[in-house]
Chain A
Amino acid sequence: MHAFAIWLKSTDLSWLVTHHGWVWATCEALHFIGMSLLFGCVGALDVRMLGWWKAPPVAGVNALVRWGVLGFLINLVTGAVFFIGEPLQYVDNPAFRFKMLFLVLAGWNVLLFYVTGVADRIESLEPDDDTPLSAKVFGGTSLFLWIGVIFFGRMLPFLGNSF
């Protein structure tokens, strides 16, 4: 991993990211915009499942998830730009490892949500319908994991040496 980071740092692409101030600044702004999209749209489904926003039908809130995916893709790309630019400040950073762990767990949670059929079971719920406990667990887990991703993202400069 270390050798890979050192090689990555030596590439032209990495040089491009760190030697133009606007690249990092633009990606930072986009990373926060993507975060808001992701947290807002995925969080909307989470709170619908938890029963904190029962006014819409579940299928309606489901239609927002694609916008959350757009936010995730924005953050995947801009996050990759940060990693390419300064790989050495991430590889040994404990906050970065926890952030990746929480991301993987969040992905796993999404996968289970669809594979176990809970997603299909709640698809037809109308306004004011209560969700089953399994959906509440998935929603709560998702909310917890995404807040964790934000927490460890914010801790990158404090637990490690990133900026």
Chain B
Amino acid sequence: MTPKDGRMGVRSTLQSQSGQSDLDETIERAIDETIRRYFMRHEPPPRVYARAISAAQQRTVTARDGSALRSWIVAAASATAALLLVNIAIHFFGVVAARAASNIDGSTGPFLLWLSGTGLARWINESETVFGYSGVLFLHTLGLAMAVGASVVVDLRILGAASRISITALLPVFRFMWIGFIVNALSGALLFAADAPRKAANPLFEFKLVLIAIGIALMAMMERSLLKSESGAALAGTERRLAMLAVASLLIWTAAIVAGRLVAYTL
């Protein structure tokens, strides 16, 4: 059964139940909204419709369709906050990193020294071909574009953009996010090995790793929530929770990119 059949099915059932040819506008809108939110590849359970319809009947009918506007406001607020974050990070962490640069030798342990002396580290540093440092850096950038790009697609949809994509149709997008993340974990490990003592001494680098860990955790939480709503076990407040996760994710990825850029330009 396709979602369209589901829509028609629900409508005709309700029409035959009420004996009216025209459905109440409130119920009509409740169906539309439910289908938009829970539009799944599998037919949502009838209780999803029942809940939405009873909620709509209790609510006084007010013509409001502010969801698109709301998503723009959230996006603009996120962008402004992100820009502020950029400047704070540059001014604050620029100073911290400059201070750390002066005591690299003091913090270099035996592991970091061993790591930077390995054949792998030397190969990355000394290879003149695209299979050396430059190629690894390219993979790191491509992985970033994949991981953050896929996250942004999920976040934008949850915040109300491209509402014709059903929420659960986002699940395959996480695959691209995870591939990008794995590419970057591996290429990042190689880049770290190539420059271990200096990277380890840079507090911005640790900050970046923490941000990435939070960003990945947020995406994993979103994926779990979506899996739950696909199986029909959506809890009340899921949408609000997803929206908060999406805003947090946009901010954290922005901050992680800023931190990553600053790691490259400090030290």
Residues of A within 8 A of B (CB): 21-22, 24-26, 28-30, 32-33, 35-41, 43-44, 47, 53, 55-57, 59-61, 63-64, 67, 126-128, 147, 150-151, 153-155, 158
* B261: chain A residues within 8 A (beta carbon): 25, 28-29, 32
Counting chain B residues whose Cβ lies within 8 A of the other chain, the interface size class is: 35 or more
* A158: chain B residues within 8 A (beta carbon): 133-134
Say whether A154 contacts B141, CB under 8 Å: yes
Say whether B165 contacts A150, CB under 8 Å: no
**Known interface pairs A29-B86, A40-B150, A44-B153. Does A155 touch B138 (Cβ–Cβ under 8 Å)?**
yes
Say whether B161 contacts A64, CB under 8 Å: yes
- B144 located at the interface, meaning its Cβ lies under 8 Å from any Cβ of chain A in the complex: yes
7 pairs across A/B with beta carbons < 8 Å?
Answer: A21-B90, A28-B265, A32-B261, A36-B145, A40-B152, A56-B165, A127-B166
Interface of chain A, main secondary structure: helix
**Binding stretch for chain A, among B25-33, B100-108, B167-175, B231-239:** B167-175
Interface of chain B, main secondary structure: helix
Say whether B172 contacts A55, CB under 8 Å: yes
**Binding stretch for chain A, among B9-17, B114-122, B250-258:** B250-258
Say whether B265 contacts A55, CB under 8 Å: no
Residues of B within 8 A of A (CB): 2-3, 41, 82, 86-87, 90-91, 94, 130, 133-134, 137-138, 141-142, 144-146, 148-153, 156-157, 161-166, 168-173, 176, 253-254, 257-258, 260-262, 265
**Known interface pairs A36-B145, A47-B176, A151-B138. Does A26 touch B90 (Cβ–Cβ under 8 Å)?**
yes
Max chain B C-beta neighbours (<10 A), residue from A26, A29, A44, A47: A29
**Known interface pairs A25-B90, A29-B261, A64-B156. Does A53 touch B142 (Cβ–Cβ under 8 Å)?**
no
Residue of B nearest to A28 (CB): B261
| Residue from A30, A39, A59, A151 within 8 A of B164 (CB atoms) | A59
CA distance A32 to B138 in the complex (A): 13
| Residue from A21, A40, A127, A153 within 8 A of B153 (CB atoms) | A40
Closest CB of chain B to A152's CB: distance in Å? 9
8 nearest CB pairs, A to B? A40-B149, A60-B164, A55-B169, A60-B165, A63-B162, A36-B148, A39-B145, A56-B165
* B145: chain A residues within 8 A (beta carbon): 35-36, 39-40, 43, 150
CA distance A8 to B236 in the complex (A): 59
CA distance A126 to B164 in the complex (A): 10
| Residue from A26, A53, A67, A153 within 8 A of B156 (CB atoms) | A67
Residue of A nearest to B148 (CB): A36
Closest CB of chain B to A73's CB: distance in Å? 13
Closest CB of chain B to A95's CB: distance in Å? 10
* B166: chain A residues within 8 A (beta carbon): 55-56, 60, 127
**Known interface pairs A36-B144, A155-B134, A158-B134. Does A67 touch B161 (Cβ–Cβ under 8 Å)?**
yes
* B156: chain A residues within 8 A (beta carbon): 41, 64, 67
Say whether A41 contacts B165, CB under 8 Å: no
**Known interface pairs A22-B87, A32-B257, A59-B164. Does A41 touch B153 (Cβ–Cβ under 8 Å)?**
yes
**Known interface pairs A32-B257, A64-B162. Does A55 touch B152 (Cβ–Cβ under 8 Å)?**
no
Say whether B41 contacts A61, CB under 8 Å: no
Residue of B nearest to A35 (CB): B145
Say whether A60 contacts B258, CB under 8 Å: no
* B82: chain A residues within 8 A (beta carbon): 33
